[in-house]
Structure 1
């Protein structure tokens, strides 16, 4: 019974009550979970957190700001550029090639294809929550959305465009000349203004309304018993809330799960490539789980096609790297798996419940 009570993650005042309920059977326990999650998120059972975790209470996204006037025109210009192959060297690739709104603003591939069918080494991340983020790409190398928007255009593996060629194309287009003049007050077109417009469009993107949003607004009656159990596991026994919290369901920090392929052909040193800090070897930014059922495959290298696979991976406690020498950088020491990762001992029913909850997000 003590183990069960710890699993529930409840305050002392609730322990005897919940214990008495649990011994009456599983059906009554489900009813009790509905009572526990009936209030505001701040009143829910406390999360079970490991040492070093940074938690922000779960909650709804900020309300959408209505775009009007020049703000709306700027976002519209950004949308047009986002979907225009004129920004690519070949004239055949768009931003939407890797961030397709019909595929959760990703591309549904393990890793993305770019110029001349070159395959990148990382999964194309969804853009659903970029409006509220402060660092971008899996390794956080971009510090603004404008910097992120400009990055793929000149990348030789992605869109492979020369800025002078892109600008020449846009300046020859009377519709673009007029649109830039209306938005920026001048017919001047520059790489910086292109990035500004695309970033404005990306900030207008929001994830679709979900049953999770309804649950936050209307209470646990929206969820099935299995989904509600999954939420509880997310906050407690499964340890998901250690890294996935707040309205974005991400702590915005960098963690090593053991998927760097250190010392092997597919090695990716992650955040270390930006900071060159030995502690950052193998660390990648925690993605948002908003609309996660739409944004597979998963992880920085897209190695997991399903949410069930992800849950099984975490249930095993991640992967321990065994190689001792980097394949790509002799100065990069062996990565250390994040201390928050531990075997979870989730039952098959608990793993199924966790997947059911994730599919509501």
Structure 2
């Protein structure tokens, strides 16, 4: 059975030509920082209990009170809010049908619920959309790690002909042709809009979207409450799952290292592709390194409960299937004819069904959407919010039969 894919537009009356909101007044950018950030000298700076703890090198792998890696912040509230409007606005795509939020929907863990994302004209993409939670801490982006900054990453979807399909000239012409956006950019970058004929620049677009993305912080789950010392935050089965997760038998924490639950490295796991899909060489291509064939970035497990299906092409529909893969034996799913350099952490832990169940119990304690932002009630372009829905969420392989 194939997916029933629906693009749903919510009409909004904006009066965009005059830069007006629904009530007939100009849109004014927020001058407060998002939750989890403090306004300091006009800029938003992250505040988290994890900033009190020692670094990973000092705390050890899997430690509860482990400090955060370097992060990005320091944008103004106005730049952050402008990025929110841009993130949700399909005007950034060539045909006005796809926004950043189409593939990174807040209600789906900032993913899209698909094993393979869908771009303009219904184009099915080769990989799934990674979550955007906690991207402020990441040092590389995409499943194959080919981008080293948020600004570099966003060039891919914005200008790929199968994703949002725009190009730099078209994007600038579109935004500069909308008085509402010219007014908003002047609010976010007042020093650059002193002259009446000042134009929106690409670097301002990229920076604003990045400013919004770095505020997507998820560090207040029940696990975090437990890590900070509240012993009753987790149940006994969940604590058992945490202990399995941290054990040298399962070795989950060696790659999915707290507090981000990723070590940000490329790992060759040997996960199977859905039936009918060719083998994905992964990081081998951008790195030009044969030993990284089939290698992909270790994803964060934050909000993992919300981002099914799992792996780079959505091979596993449930968390239970995903964790069971790791106890199937080293390289057990490598396709015939492929000789992969499987990551040394992957071995044969021989976990029982009960232990796998406890792992899933623990992974669900990493869910935290307390800082989930609200989509704009109106968009400066005059377009409506776009929602991408999968009518048959059980069919994750875009028409292909599943297999064991």
TM-score, normalization by structure 1: 0.77
1:126 paired to 2:151 = no
Structure 2 CA distance for partners of 1:188 and 1:105, relative to 1, 3 Å: same
Q: Does 1:55 align with 2:61?
A: yes
The 8 Å contact of residues 136 and 144 in structure 1, kept in 2 or not, is answered as yes
**Between Structure 1 and Structure 2, which shows a larger proportion of strand residues?**
2
Partner of 1:100: 105
Selected match of 2:291 from 279, 284, 295:
279
State whether structure 2 residue 309 is matched by structure 1 residue 303.
no
Could you say which residue in structure 2 is the equivalent of 1:240?
252
8 Å CA contact 1:320, 1:337 repeated in 2: no
Aligned with 2:214 (options 187, 197, 203): 203
Q: Give the alignment partner of residue 321 of structure 1, picking from 314, 334, 341.
A: 334
Query: After superposition, what is the alpha-carbon deviation per residue over 1:119-156, rounded to whole angstroms, capped at 9, x for unaligned?
Result: 11111010001010010011111110111123201011
Take 2:78 and 2:293, find their aligned partners in 1: how far apart are those partners? Answer: 42
Find the partner of 1:149 among 127, 147, 154.
154
Q: Distance in 2 between matches of 1:309 and 1:258?
A: 15
Larger helix proportion, structure 1 or 2? 1
Match of 1:216 among 216, 222, 227: 227
- Return the structure number with greater relative CO, CA threshold 8 A, min gap 6: 2
2:107 partner SS: helix
Distance (whole Å) between structure 1 residues aligned to residue 68 and residue 333 of structure 2: 38
Partners of 1:321 and 1:350 in 2: how far apart? Answer: 25
Task: Deviation per CA, 1:166-212: give whole Å up to 9, x if none.
Answer: 21111111121122122222232122221111011000111273211
1:260–1:282 CA contact under 8 A, matched in 2: no
1:233 Cα deviation after fit: 0.3
CA distance in 1, matches of 2:244, 2:271: 24
1:183 aligns with 2:188: yes
Q: Distance in 1 between matches of 2:65 and 2:280?
A: 33
Q: Secondary structure at the match of 1:214?
A: helix
Counterpart CA distance in 2 for 1:58 and 1:118 is: 42
CA distance in 2, matches of 1:216, 1:74: 33
Change (3 A) 1:261 1:357: closer
Structure 2 CA distance, aligned partners of 1:57 and 1:274?
A: 33
- Determine the C-alpha separation between the residues in 1 that align with 2:68 and 2:257: 15
Kindly state the Cα deviation for residue 322 of structure 1 after the two structures are TM-superposed: 4.2
Mapped pair 1:160 → 2:171: no
The question of whether the paired residues in 2 share the 8 Å contact of 1:75 and 1:198 is answered with yes
User: What do residues 213-246 of structure 1 show as CA deviations (whole Å, max 9, x unaligned)?
Assistant: 2111233322111111100000112210121113
Instruction: Provide Cα deviations, 1:298-337, integer angstroms capped at 9, x if missing partner.
Output: 1111111111001111111353424336xxxxxxxx3222
| Cα deviations by residue, 1:261-287 (Å, 9 ceiling, x for unpaired) | 59x842211111111111111110000
2:238 aligns with one of 183, 206, 227: 227
What is the number of equivalent residue pairs in this alignment? 302
- In structure 1, the partner of 2:271 is 259
Q: 1:260 to 1:356 in 2, by over 3 A?
A: closer
Distance 1:194 1:360 in 2: 35
**Equivalent residue of 1:255, what SS?**
strand
2:273–2:315 CA contact under 8 A, matched in 1: no
Greater Rg by CA: 1
CA displacement, residues 238-263 of structure 1 (integer Å, 9 cap, x when unaligned): 2101211131011111111112659x
C-alpha separation between the residues in 1 aligned to 2:209 and 2:53? 35
Structure-2 separation of matches of 1:343 and 1:165: 52
Tell me the TM-score normalised to structure 2 length. Answer: 0.69
